[in-house]
Amino acid sequence: MRESKTDRTFNIFNFVFLTIVALLVIYPLVFVLSASFSNPQYVVSGEMWLWPKDITLDAYEKVFKNKDIINGFVNTLKYTVFGTILNVIMTILAAYPLSRRDLKGRGLIMAFIVFTIFFSGGLIPTYLLIHDLGMLNTFWVMVIPNAVAVWNIIIMRTFFQAIPHELEESAKIDGCGNFRILWSIVLPLSFPVIAVMVLFYSVGHWNSYFQALIYLQDQDKFPLQLILRQILIQGQTDDMIKATSESFLAQQLSVEGLKYAVLIVANLPMLMLYPFLQRYFVKGVMIGSLKG
Amino acid sequence: MTNMSESVEGVKEDGVHRKKSEKVKKKTGIGWMKSIRRNWELYVLLTPVILYFLVFHYFPLYGLQIAFKDFIANKGIWGSPWVGMKHFERFFDSYYFWRLILNTIGIGVFTLVVSFPVPIILALMLNEVKSLRYKKFVQTVIYAPHFLSTVVVVGMLLLFLKTDGLVNQVIKIFGGTPIDFITEPAFFKSLYVFSDVWQTMGWSSIIYIAALAAVDPSQHEAAMIDGASRFQRILHINIPAIMPTIVILFILNAGSVMAVGFEKVYLMQNDLNMSTSDVISTFVYRSGILEAQYSFSAAVGLFNSLINFFLLIMVNQIAKKVNETSLW
């Protein structure tokens, strides 16, 4: 069918609009990347505006020599790995029984869990609880209070419910207990949803700073995001450059470079995982939206 | 004698009850005991989950009573003395009450008005792209900021907007004078909302793109034969098709206008922009965690969650009446 004139105008407008949107989104990211490789002098003067100018790795050298950043990176890695393992296990423990139609009390337990989305005790009572449990300023506070997310239970439950019921029935006739059914029939079929969960939870752990801000006091336990906050937002960069013999102006400049480089380093795992992240995240949103 | 007859009657009554309950059981299928015997493993699996929710979600609800008490640490939640509505009254009478309420509503409504429609428009336009490769490219780009942390986004914002940052350099090129966006109260809400749009528009459009993919192509073909233009087809086929999704998401979003998140506001806050940036959640953090006024800030928090709860119910109720689509 031939396109009418208005349709052609529409197409052109559509193309231009979407391209502008995409450029607006990508430009700040490209700028940060380029700035991190440039001589900070050109960044500050505005001469570097798209591609790196006078390429240098000085800023990255400073980042990797910085004990706080490295320590924060390692801490975040620990919190992310242990947190995600616990999250995924807990989500399976909740989602599988709740996906079984023959479980008595299923509706009641589901309501008990979903209620917490709509009404929570809030910051202060939760803080007092964590305090009373003696979890303040410990490794555990970064892992246990967010052991499972209700929305993810719902996503996983929806996935489990889509597994043909006959598979479980025939396993039961063969004398399989519920543990066996979960372990050898349901879980092997659930790789896609488990991958979605691993990515959902690990991105959440990697990016979160709130938990750490509220519950951690020691600098050596801080995750990367809190260190980033100190550098980027509070401007606590004095001790990072004090030791160097540069002039004051040169120091100011190298702080600038360091800020861009640390942004890139903090997002490195995300950047590398992005192709997977995008695919599985989109899948997760789709599963969630079916019943949502 | 009387005792015995009573106990006999008791047994009889028990018998009757048992018969009745057996009847009920037959009606509903399996009884509790049988279900537990048959699926005990499932209840074992659920135990840690239920314990987790009891401890970390229900116990804080019990702890909320300190909002009506003067919490004294060594007396505990239960032992602290009741003071009624004292903390609520103090909050309502304080000079910052209206400032907090207006800032919270302001940011919430501004976000709703700007952040909510953008992904819908984006999805409708992406749906019209014929080249799959181009569509994929745009999607890959606009989803990316979703994976950045709040600290990173605010950090970038500060780098771009400081007095010698990128934006001010552009202003200088065009002969303007640099503006200190970060500390200027008038800019806070716009910066908050538009950086939010930047970060979330792509990701939020996914759900609409999925809904649009489910539209039956034969509808479009029929409309094309009738001579409908692209724009008309968007208006009369695509938008009605995603309307239920729009309504559900609108309910959720409108229900949380007063639930302005702590994380980003707190990072963007500084001493100079407090007049427009201070919201209920940052206030609760300051007075509760930093100043240890537990009871008072628990009361403020409770006040906020009650409003959120009723807002959600109200919006849902309105949507039910108007649109016949609702959450429950």
Q: Judge if A63 and A52 occupy the same domain.
A: no
Q: Which chain B residues are closer than 8 Å to A210 by Cβ?
A: 262-263
Q: Is B140 on the interface with A (CB under 8 A)?
A: yes
Considering only A149-158, A219-228, B4-13, B176-185, which range has the smallest mean pLDDT? B4-13
pLDDT at A16: 94
In a shared domain, residues B129 and B154: yes
Whether B118 is in a domain gets the answer yes
Do A129 and A30 fall into the same domain?
no
Give, in order, the Cα–Cα distances in Å from A167 to each of A287, B16, B202.
Answer: 21, 41, 39
User: Is 80 exceeded by the pLDDT of residue A243?
Assistant: no
| Mean local confidence (pLDDT), B223-237 | 87
Which tokens is A77 given? 């890695």
**CA–CA gap between residue A132 and residue A123 (Å, rounded):** 14
Q: Are residues A95 and A113 in the same domain?
A: yes
Question: Please, which pLDDT band fits residue B15 given cuts at 50, 70 and 90?
Answer: very low
Q: Which neighbouring-strand residues pair with B69?
A: B82
Beta-bridge partner residues of B82: B69
Q: Report the gap between the CA of A273 and the closest CA in chain B (Å).
A: 10
Q: Do B206 and A285 touch (CB under 8 A)?
A: yes
Closest CA–CA distance from residue A2 to any residue of chain B (Å) = 11
- Do A120 and A8 sit in the same domain of this protein? no
Looking at chain A, which residue has its C-alpha nearest residue B40? A178
Residue type at A17 in one-letter notation: F
Taking a contact as any Cβ pair under 8 Å apart, which residues of chain B between 76 and 115 contact chain A? 77
Q: Which of B50, B70, B152 to mutate to probe the A interface, most A CBs <10 Å?
A: B152
How close B4 gets to chain A, by Cα (Å)? 39
Indicate whether A57 pLDDT > 80. yes
Strand, helix or coil for residue B182: coil
Same domain, B63 and B99: no
Verify that A148 and A281 share a domain, yes or no: yes
B276 found inside a domain: yes
Of B48, B206, B267, the CB nearest to A233: B267
Distance from CA of A172 to the nearest CA of B (A): 11
What's the average model confidence in pLDDT over A174-183? 85
Mark whether A1 and A145 lie in a shared domain.
no
H or E element that contains B279: none
Is A118 near chain B, with CB under 8 Å?
Answer: yes
Q: Which of B49, B161, B169 to mutate to test the interface with A (most CBs of A within 10 A)?
A: B49
Question: Which residues are within 8 A (CB) of B168 and not within 5 positions of it... i.e. 6 or more apart?
Answer: B161, B162, B178, B179
Residue B62 sits in the same domain as residue B99: no
Report d(CA B313, CA B317) in Å as an integer. Answer: 6
Task: Print the domain residue range for A257.
Answer: 58-291
Among the residue ranges A70-79, A131-140, B216-225, the one predicted with the least confidence is B216-225
Q: Which tokens in the block code for residue A279? A: 């695919």
A209/B150 CB distance under 8 A: yes
CATH number of domain containing B306:
1.10.3720.10
Which residues of chain B make contact with A207, given a CB cutoff of 8 A? 147-152
Q: Work out how many domains chain A is built from and give that number.
A: 2
pLDDT of the residue at A59:
84
In a domain, B268, yes or no: yes
B151, pLDDT greater than 60: yes
A109 and A73 within one domain:
yes
List pLDDT tens digits, range B187-215. 999 999 999 999 999 989 988 998 888 88
Q: What residue of B is the nearest CA neighbor of A87?
A: B49
From B9's Cα to the closest Cα of chain A, the distance in A is 33
Average pLDDT over residues B42-61: 94
- Residue B297 reports pLDDT greater than 90: yes
User: Does B268 lie in the same domain as B219?
Assistant: yes
DSSP assignment string, A32-88: HHHHHHS-HHHHHHT--SSS-SS---HHHHHHHH-HHHHHHHHHHHHHHHHHHHHHH
Last residue of a domain, one of B50, B79, B108: B79
Q: Quick check: A197 pLDDT over 50?
A: yes
A82 token code pair: 């242990």
B219 inside domain = yes
Tokens at residue A261, please?
A: 């480089």
**CB < 8 Å to B123, chain A:** none
- Residue B165 domain flag: yes
pLDDT band at B283 (very low <50, low <70, confident <90, very high): very high
Residues B146 and B179 in one domain: yes
Shared domain for A142 and A8, answered yes or no, is no
How much is the mean pLDDT over chain A? 86
* Residues of B in Cβ contact (< 8 Å) with A17: 125
- Shared domain for B56 and B192, answered yes or no, is no
Shared domain check, A45 and A71? no
Cα A141-A142-A146 angle, rounded to 5 deg: 90
Are B112 and B162 members of one domain? yes
Is residue B193 classed as helix, strand or coil in its secondary structure?
helix
Residues B116 and B252 in one domain: yes
Going by pLDDT thresholds of 50, 70 and 90, the confidence category of residue B321 is confident
- Which residue among A36, A56, A76 closes a domain? A56
State residue A92's pLDDT score: 95
Residue B163 lies in a domain: yes
Q: Which of A188, A208, A203, A205 shows the shortest CA–CA distance to A281?
A: A203
User: Within an 8 Å CB–CB cutoff, is residue A111 touching chain B?
Assistant: no
**Alpha carbon A67 to its chain's center:** 23
Chain centre distance of CA B222: 40
Is A30 an interface residue toward B (CB < 8 Å)?
no
How far off is chain A from B286, nearest CA to CA, in Å?
11
d(CA A263, CA A259): 6
Query: Region A17-26: what's the mean pLDDT?
Result: 94
The answer to whether B257 and B49 have CB atoms below 8 angstroms apart is: no
* Residue A118 amino acid letter: F
Note whether A184 contacts B: Cβ–Cβ < 8 A: no
Give the model's pLDDT for residue B284.
92
Cβ of A128 and B77 within 8 Å?
Answer: yes
Two structure tokens written together for A179: 């543990």
A-B Cβ pairs (cutoff 8 Å, strict):
245
Do A7 and A73 belong to one domain?
no
* Whole-number pLDDT of residue B27: 47
Q: Kindly report the pTM of this predicted structure.
A: 0.86
Residue B24 has pLDDT above 50, yes or no: no
pLDDT for residue A3: 66
Given an 8 Å threshold on Cβ–Cβ distance, is A289 in contact with B207? yes
Q: For B201, which DSSP code?
A: H
Q: Which domain holds residue B156?
A: 86-323
CA distance B298 to B68: 9
Of A18, A29, A281, the CB nearest to B126: A18
**Where does a domain end: B79, B114, B139?**
B79
Q: Is the confidence metric ipTM above 0.95 for this complex?
A: no
One domain for residues B176 and B133: yes
> Distances from the Cα of A176 to the Cαs of A168, A172, B33, B153, in angstroms?
9, 5, 21, 51
Whether residues B159 and B287 fall in one domain? yes
Contacts with A93 from chain B: Cβ below 8 Å: 45-46, 48-49
Q: Flag whether B328 is in a domain.
A: no
- Identify the band that residue B77 occupies on the pLDDT scale cut at 50, 70 and 90: confident
Q: Are residues A128 and A196 in the same domain?
A: yes
What mean pLDDT comes out for the span B29-38? 73
What pLDDT score does B265 carry?
A: 93
Per-residue confidence band for B32, with pLDDT thresholds at 50, 70 and 90: confident
Domain endpoint, select from B45, B61, B79: B79
Q: Are B262 and B30 in contact (CB under 8 A)?
A: no
| Spatial CA neighbour of A63 closest among A90, A98, A36 | A36
Task: Quote the tokens at residue A126.
Answer: 């939760």
Please give the span between the terminal C-alpha atoms of chain A, in angstroms, as a whole number.
38
- pLDDT at position A279 is 77
Confidence of residue B152 (pLDDT cuts 50, 70, 90): very high
Residues 213-252 of chain A with CB under 8 A from chain B are 214, 225, 228-229, 232-233
Percent of chain B with pLDDT over 70: 89
Given A56, A76, A91, the domain boundary residue is A56
Count of the separate structural domains present in chain B: 2
Q: What pLDDT does B8 receive?
A: 39
Chain A hits for B30, CB-CB cut-off 8 Å, are: 102, 104
Q: Closest Cα of chain B to A42: distance in Å?
A: 11
What confidence score (pLDDT) does residue B285 get?
92
Tell which residue, A73, A66, A35, has the closest CA to residue A244.
Answer: A66
CB proximity under 8 Å: A 66-95 to B:
90, 93-94
Q: Is B285 on the interface with A (CB under 8 A)?
A: yes
Quick check: A122 and B148 CB within 8 A? no
Query: What is the torsional sign of CA B284, B288, B294, B296?
Result: negative
H or E element at residue B258: none
Does B72 share its domain with B92?
A: no
Whether B122 sits inside 8 A of A21 (CB atoms) is: yes
Amino acid making up residue B289: I
Say what the pLDDT of residue A83 is.
96
Across A139-161, average pLDDT: 92
Residue B70 scores a pLDDT above 50: yes
Q: Which of B267, B238, B263, B260 is nearest to B307 (CA)?
A: B260
Half-sphere exposure of A204 (CA within 13 A, CB side): 21
**B159 touches B246 (CB < 8 A):** no
Average pLDDT, chain B: 85
What CA dihedral angle connects B294, B297, B303 and B309, to 10 degrees? -80
| Least confident stretch, A58-72, A113-127, A152-166, B4-18 | B4-18
Q: Is pLDDT at B5 greater than 50 in this prediction? A: no
Instruction: Point out the least confidently predicted range of A120-129, A177-186, B280-289.
Output: A177-186
| B115 lies in the same domain as B132 | yes
Which residues of chain A have a CB within 8 Å of the CB of B39?
Answer: 97, 100, 102-104, 178
